Amino acid sequence: MYTGKTHHSNYTKNMAHLRIHDLIAKTAHVSHKNTLRVLIALRAVSAELDCAVDSIANAPYSGDKPTPDQARACNAAYLRMHETGCMRKYLFEVEQVI
């Protein structure tokens, strides 16, 4: 159950069985497994970049295809995540959801 202090706290206080990831999946119209993969990946990227999850969630997004430089930077970061021993936990979690 979500217990955050928001203007919706009165609305959600009677939803003892609400799981936030279910609501995210339903809102995004994606499968439960894909939602879990993204949430686990979000935690992994946050740990790898040593930044808060909310800073990633609040970063600007683009629907455009990445430029060659952006794609290279993403691939390099992804490879580093696989090479870093501390990331095995997150990568294992993603694989278990499949």
Kindly report, residue by residue over 37-88, the tens digit of the pLDDT.
899 889 889 988 999 999 999 999 999 999 999 999 999 998 888 887 767 8
Domains: count for the chain: 2
* Residue 89 confidence (pLDDT): 81
17 Cβ contact partners less than 8 Å away, ≥ 6 residues apart: 1
61 plus 15 within the same structural domain: no
pTM of the full structure? 0.75
65 plus 91 within the same structural domain: yes
* Other Cβ atoms within 10 Å of 20 Cβ, number: 13
66 plus 92 within the same structural domain: yes
For every residue of 37-86, DSSP letters joined together read HHHHHHHHHHHHHT--HHHHHTS----SPPPHHHHHHHHHHHHHHHH-GG
Burial of 55 (0-12, 13-18, 19+ CB in 10 A): exposed
